[in-house]
Structure 1
Amino acid sequence: MLFPFAAQEVEAADLAHGKRVFQTCSSCHVVDSEATRFGPTLKGVVGRKAGSVQDFRYSQAMKDAGAAGLVWDEAALGEFLSSPKRKVPGTSMRFWGLWTQSEIDDVIAYLKANP
Structure 2
Amino acid sequence: MKVRNTVIAGLGALFVFGLGAPAMADGDAAAGKKVFAKCRACHKLEAGKHGVGPSLHNIVGREVATADGFTKYSKAMKAFGEGKTWDEDLLNSFLEKPKGLVKGTKMAFPGLRKPEQRADVIAYLKSVE
Q: Provide TM-score, normalisation by structure 1.
A: 0.83
User: Structure 2: 5+ residue runs without aligned partners?
Assistant: 1-25
Whole-angstrom distance in 2 between the partners of 1:54 and 1:66: 15
User: Structure 1: 5+ residue runs without aligned partners?
Assistant: 1-10
Whole-angstrom distance in 1 between the partners of 2:128 and 2:46: 7
Residue 75 of structure 2 is matched in structure 1 by: 60
Contact 2:43 2:50 in 1 (8 A): yes
How far is the alpha carbon of 1:90 from its aligned partner?
Answer: 0.9
Letter in 1 for 2:79: D
**Any idea what the Cα deviations from partners look like across 1:24-70, whole Å, max 9, x if unmatched?**
00010011332001000000000111110133210001111122x12
More helix by share: 2
Residue 5 of structure 1 is matched in structure 2 by: none
Contact 2:95 2:118 in 1 (8 A): yes
Letter in 2 for 1:96: P
The structure 1 residue matched to 2:121, chosen from 94, 107, 110, is 107
Could you tell me the percent identity over the aligned residues? 44
CA RMSD of aligned residues (A): 1.5
Letter in 2 for 1:35: K
Letter in 1 for 2:85: V
Residue 30 of structure 2 is matched in structure 1 by: 16
Q: Provide TM-score, normalisation by structure 2.
A: 0.75
The structure 1 residue matched to 2:96, chosen from 82, 107, 112, is 82
1:30 aligns with 2:44: yes
**Any idea what the Cα deviations from partners look like across 1:47-98, whole Å, max 9, x if unmatched?**
111110133210001111122x121100000000000011111111011000
Whole-angstrom distance in 2 between the partners of 1:77 and 1:86: 13
